[in-house]
Amino acid sequence: MNRKYVGEKLERARREGRLMLTEAESKAVLAAYGIPVVEEAVAASEDDAVARAKGMGFPVVLKGHGARLAHKTERGLVKLNLRSVTEVRRAYRRIKTAAGGDWEGCLVQPQVEGRREFVAGMFRDPQFGPTVMFGLGGVFAEALADAAFCIAPLSDVQADDLLDDIRGAKLLGDFRGEKAADRTELRRVLKGLSQLSLDRPEIAEVDINPLIVAPDGRVKAVDALVVLSENGVSAADGPGEGVPEAEALAIRRDLDAAFNAKSVAVVGAAPPREKGFMGMYACVRDFGYAGRLYPVNPNLDEIDGVKAYPDLVSLPEPVDLVVVSVPAPHVPDVLRDCVAAGCKTVHIFTAGFRETGEPEGIRLQEEMEKIAREGGLRVIGPNCMGVFAPRTQLVTWPAALKGAGSLAFVSQSGGNAQEFTKYAASRYGIHFSKAVSYGNALTLDGADFLDYLSRDDETEIVGMYIEGVKDGRRFLKMVGETNRRKPVIIFKGGLSETGARAVSSHTGALAGGAKIWRAFFRQTGAVPVDSIEEMADVALAFHCLKEIRGNRTCVLGYGGGSVVSVADNCAKAGLTLPAFSPALFGEVRKLVPPVGAMIRNPIDAAVAFQDVDVMGNILRLLAASDEIDNIIVFVPIDWLMNEGDGGGRHIEKVARFLAGQGRKLAGGKPVVGVWRQFVPDPENRKWVPVLEEILLSAGIPVYKGVPRAVNALAKAAAYYAFQERRGS
């Protein structure tokens, strides 16, 4: 069947009131999309079945054929492994009897040999739309739940990644004397499903079960089912509508105006509160916003000597950003004022809308949505903390830190926006280009901010905290595109079932299953993290290490037990800690005597920390070696207190050496610092910030403890490996 007739076939089934295609129809549709299906014929009579079987060669399979036949195995309508004419005749008669009034004929197929059974399919995820599935089949499939997903469309690389993502992927290689599965055919299956899902939005689901890999590696869809969606074309049917380019351009322009606002109005402005949250007006004012700041409050004439306006329409100018902090029931009126006053971009701090799950909150949010859409407003929020643009000296949350940098942060949660910006800056000295908390995403969603930031010259790394997304396909596309240019690090809240429950309460967003998000990360190459601390760790690695060429790592430390666990930490994070070649081992052995030291990688050598020349010589060896990509130096603060000049000054010496000559000797290979410090003596503790300061100033990322360091390094390395693999 030619691909162009597929639509007619689907249309006919629907006209006949059938949402499920027959097995024969289903396979014809798949075959039209290049998917290898088992040879088959519909036999209209017993003799015909025998003739067909002889033509195909025994053994064969007979199955009932008919538009009303489902659950064929359970109804006794499938007879496998028929080896003779007698068996075919008997099977034909039995199936006919079992089918009763639903009988329309009999399907004859050769018995496909092959012990390796898989399943493949397509369904429409409510968040990400058409999604291709591949998994282990056969009797164990259900019990093992070994399946992986990929959001359509699929590239060849993505198809390969999907195949390799199941736990049983080994079965696709050479297997007990059987040939490796034909990758080209497998890719055709997955890409065929992908293309079909995009071409035919009226298809809700496709199920190929089993997809058998024969001993010669050839692949065959042996049974298949195509299911149409009940309501014709559904919401999550095809590529997202996305946002027209003109609209996207306008959003970027309006966001740029807001982040660089020359004028800001705070509606619901009030004198700073002494207790609890100080209020939006005080936040903006006290951070030192240098533009024109207008308090709006119909009940006040002035706030701390600044004239207050009764409403937005009374302002002397339309402002670049309106901040709304009035009780929820008044927010729709304020939005109407925004439209009337010609203010485009609005941050709504107020909460009490869809996230409450209560009818009144939901109704209010719907009303606001309508006003915003009709008035062309760009709404940040509601139920969020708004914006932080340090270069504009603009912030809508309390106690933000001064200082601007190149990390951007987009957060659905206001708490995380505040805490991450403070944490990253104070812990690691990583400052921000822009940050935004957008809560319920009335009009502007994560993808809109990402679209803006991907083109923002001030931004080199993007961090995101998201709970759900409104247009999954657009988000997927935007993250994938942005990630080519700058690393995108994503903390997805609500991956677990209970997490998802918390999310829906928190922002009324749709949280997807963990497996589909796994596909999302695998496809976009975005870096997944689980906490804001981990996001800061990974951001630091990107910030300091401009490129990472592999994950073969050498750890240079001092202190047996702690160094032993380094190897376990690396294995867990996915870094390899290769054993040195005899040649390299020999070179290191010349520098490090055997007693109390080990040098098989990890290197555990007091002498390297007692004498920086030894450390330098080791670094030189590692730099010259083609066995190692990255170097971790694990500094035991307490153990060095009494070395060298004593009193901890030796720690500073080691730090300065690493920051200067040591780094040079490493010859451009990433160097990562780690410290541990356990003795509760303030004299010891004070050297931690000294070490950190020296290393960070020199662009050497430094972490507390090995697990955090190797995790950050491994994730950054995976990013660069993804880019190289994708060929961008």
Residue 335 has phi, psi (to 5 degrees) of -65, -40
- In this structure, the number of other CB atoms found within 10 A of the CB of residue 349 comes to 28
The answer to whether the bond into 130 is cis (omega within 30° of 0) is: no
Beta carbon nearer to a second copy, 129 or 405 = 405
State both tokens at 617. 């010589």
Residue 429 CB, shortest distance to a second copy, in Å, is 11
Structure tokens at 518: 């796994």
- DSSP class of residue 661 equals I
Smaller CB separation from a second copy, 134 or 491: 491
Other C-beta atoms lying within 10 Å of the C-beta of residue 18:
16
Please identify, using beta-carbon distances, which residue of 155 and 610 lies nearer to a second copy: 610
Shorter beta-carbon distance to a second copy: residue 43 or 425? 425
Say which residue the tokens 């689907």 belong to.
Answer: 10
**Strands 345-348 and 630-636, bridge-based pairing:** unpaired
Q: Are 116 and 175 in contact (CB under 8 A)?
A: yes
- How far is it, in rounded angstroms, from Cα 177 to Cα 194? 32
In angstroms, the CA 335 to CA 312 distance is: 10
**Which residue type is seen at 691?**
L
* Cα 35 from Cα 54, distance rounded (Å): 25
Give the integer Cα–Cα distance in Å for 184 and 186. Answer: 5
Q: Which is nearer to a second copy, 2 or 498 (CB)?
A: 498
**Minimum CB distance to a second copy, residue 437 (Å):** 9
Q: Which is nearer to a second copy, 52 or 347 (CB)?
A: 347
Token pair belonging to 262 = 């020359």
- State in angstroms the smallest separation of the CB of 170 from a second copy: 4
Nearer Cβ to a second copy (414/472): 414
37: which 2 tokens? 């299906």
**Token digits of residue 666:** 């490493």
Q: How far is the CB of 566 from a second copy (least distance, A)?
A: 7
Give the β-pairing of 302-303 and 306-307.
Answer: antiparallel
**Phi, psi dihedrals of residue 673, rounded to the nearest 5°:** -95, 145
Q: Which is nearer to a second copy, 67 or 516 (CB)?
A: 516
Q: Output the smallest distance, CB 179 to a second copy, in A.
A: 15
Q: How far is the CB of 613 from a second copy (least distance, A)?
A: 17
Query: Whole-angstrom Cα distance, residue 189 to residue 679?
Result: 60
Our CB check for a second copy shows the closer of 421 and 454 to be 421
Residue 553: beta bridge partners?
630
Complex with a second copy: residue 542 or 639, whichever CB lies closer? 639
Give the residue from 660, 644, 655 showing the smallest Cα distance to 688: 655
Least Cβ distance, residue 488 to a second copy (angstroms): 18
Q: Taking the complex as a whole, how short is the minimal distance between the CB of residue 246 and a second copy, in angstroms? A: 33
Question: What's the 3-state SS for 294-343?
Answer: EEECCCCCEECCEECECCHHHCCCCCCEEEECCCHHHHHHHHHHHHHHCC
In terms of Cα–Cα distance, which of 490, 552, 558, 572 is closest to 524? Answer: 490
Number of Cβ atoms within 10 Å of the Cβ of 15: 8
Nearer to a second copy, 194 or 684 (CB): 684
Least distance from C-beta 291 to a second copy, angstroms?
A: 25
Q: Which is nearer to a second copy, 449 or 722 (CB)?
A: 449
* Residue 69 or 532 with smaller CB distance to a second copy: 532
Pick 314 or 531: Cβ nearer a second copy: 531
- Smallest distance, Å, CB 546 to a second copy? 27
Smallest distance, a second copy to C-beta of residue 119, A: 13
d(CA 235, CA 231): 10
Residue with tokens 């109390």: 596
Nearest distance from residue 643's CB to a second copy, in Å? 6
Find out whether 326 and 267 touch, Cβ atoms under 8 Å: yes
To the nearest whole angstrom, how small is the minimum distance from the Cβ of residue 506 to a second copy? 5
**Shortest Cβ 365–a second copy spacing (Å):** 13
What is the CB-side half-sphere exposure of residue 218 using CA atoms within 13 A? 8
Max CA separation in the chain (angstroms)? 102
Nearer to a second copy, 201 or 468 (CB): 468
CB of 185 to a second copy, least distance (A): 19
Return the number of the residue (264 or 535) whose C-beta is nearest a second copy. 535
Q: How far is the CB of 348 from a second copy (least distance, A)?
A: 13
Phi, psi of 133, deg, nearest 5:
-120, 145
- Going by C-alpha positions, the residue among 444, 529, 461 that lies closest to residue 495 is 529
**The 3-state secondary structure of 60-104, one letter per residue:** EEEEECCCCCCCCCCCCCEEEEECCHHHHHHHHHHHHHHHHHHCC
The first and second tokens of residue 616, run together, are 């330098």
